[in-house]
């Protein structure tokens, strides 16, 4: 059993702010990953993190190909398979 609740947008016990956050993420990505469901426990902080990640990913001077290469390289170096 998870120590941190995994929130779902279709669960009536999910707080409205968290449900709104999850629906917004789903609308942007097409799906909601489990890590995002965990972040939804604190929607205000999760929104700030998502904004930061977007600014790093899209608000830089790298081409999309170089950005993807940087992410892939970091994943390989850190042995991240997720």
Digit-coded pLDDT (tens) for 17-28: 999 999 999 888
Q: What is the DSSP string of 21-46?
A: HHHHHHHHHSS--HHHHHHTTSHHHH
Alpha carbon distance 16, 2 (integer Å): 22
**Residue pLDDT, tens place only, 32-59:** 999 999 999 999 999 999 899 888 888 8
Q: Is 64 exposed, middle or buried (0-12, 13-18, 19+ CB in 10 A)?
A: exposed
Domain spans in the chain, listed from the N-terminal domain onward = 16-77
Model pTM score? 0.71
């Amino acid at each position: 059993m998870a120590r941190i609740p995994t929130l779902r947008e279709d669960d009536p016990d999910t707080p409205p702010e968290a449900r709104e956050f999850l629906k917004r993420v789903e609308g942007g990505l097409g799906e909601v990953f489990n890590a995002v469901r965990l972040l939804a426990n604190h929607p205000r902080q999760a929104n700030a993190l998502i904004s930061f990640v977007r600014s790093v990913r899209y608000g830089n001077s790298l081409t999309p190909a170089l950005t993807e290469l940087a992410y892939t390289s970091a994943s390989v170096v850190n042995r991240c398979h997720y």
